[in-house]
Each structure stands twice: as structure tokens, then as C-alpha cells.
Amino acid sequence: MDESRMKHGAFGWFELMTTDPEGAKKFYTELFGWETEDYPMEKMNYTVLKVGGEAVAGIMPMPAEVAGMPPVWSGYITVDDVDETAKRVEELGGKIDRPPADIPGVGRFSVIQDPQGAFILAMSYARK
């Protein structure tokens, strides 16, 4: 990942959760010319989207815990410390929709909601 996207406050990643990952891959690759690379995982296949060989986003199937939710694109904001950020969200009048949790080999994330009701994800990336 480009180092500029690893700075606190930068948009670091975008991700589509969808009920039809294959259909989404077909749609977006034909629409934007994105390249794809699949990463089979234990319970799902994760697809990385690339522009000119650079990873810019991902596509994943809807997790069971959000069944019934419509497909959605989400943005991840890079933060130095996701646990500290989650505490700050509540101090500022926001809500924590999903408490900080680890993504093995990637980092730690939390789903937050601002006081107006909009959702976004905070992510502290594992440094390699």
C-alpha cells in the first residue's frame, strides 16, 4: 500500500461488501478497467481491486452478522491507534457499531458512527 495512505487521517482502503461478489467483479472491471486478484481465505474469497497494478480496494461477500443489509462500499480511515480512536468517538458524541477487533496480518479496525449517523471504519494497519 502506498505510504501516503498509511498516515493518520488518510483514506487507506475502500471495500465493497456484497451479496454477489462475482457479479460485482464483472461490473466494476468492465466499468472502470480494474484488475482483480483473489485471495482465498478460510471462510470466504477476498478480491483485491487494482489500478495499474496498485491495490486500491477490495470486494468481499456479506458477513453473516450483517445479513439483510444492502451491499455497501465502505471507506477505512488510517489511525495511529484504533482503540484510542474508538474512545475518542464516544467522547465526541459518536457511537461504536463494532468495537475494535483484529484482522490477522492486516491490522485492527472498528466500525464507527458519527453524531449525524454516518458510518465509517477506523483502521490501524500492522506495520511490517
Could you give the 3-state DSSP secondary structure of residue 90? helix
pTM for this entry: 0.83
Query: 3-125: CATH homologous superfamily?
Result: 2,3-Dihydroxybiphenyl 1,2-Dioxygenase, domain 1 (3.10.180.10)
Residue 27 has pLDDT above 80, yes or no: yes
Distance between CA 56 and CA 22 in Å, rounded? 18
Question: What cell numbers appear for 104 in the block?
Answer: 490477522
For 44-100, what is each residue's pLDDT tens digit? 999 999 999 999 999 999 999 888 999 999 999 999 999 999 999 999 999 999 999
* pLDDT at site 4: 80
Residues 6+ apart with CB under 8 A from 128: none
Nearest-5° angle of CA 19, CA 32, CA 113? 50
* pLDDT at site 128: 66
* pLDDT at site 2: 73
Give the CA distances from residue 107 to residues 2, 58, 92, 94, 128, in Å, rounded to whole numbers and listed in that order.
16, 15, 24, 22, 10
* pLDDT at site 1: 66
Q: What is the mean pLDDT of the chain?
A: 93
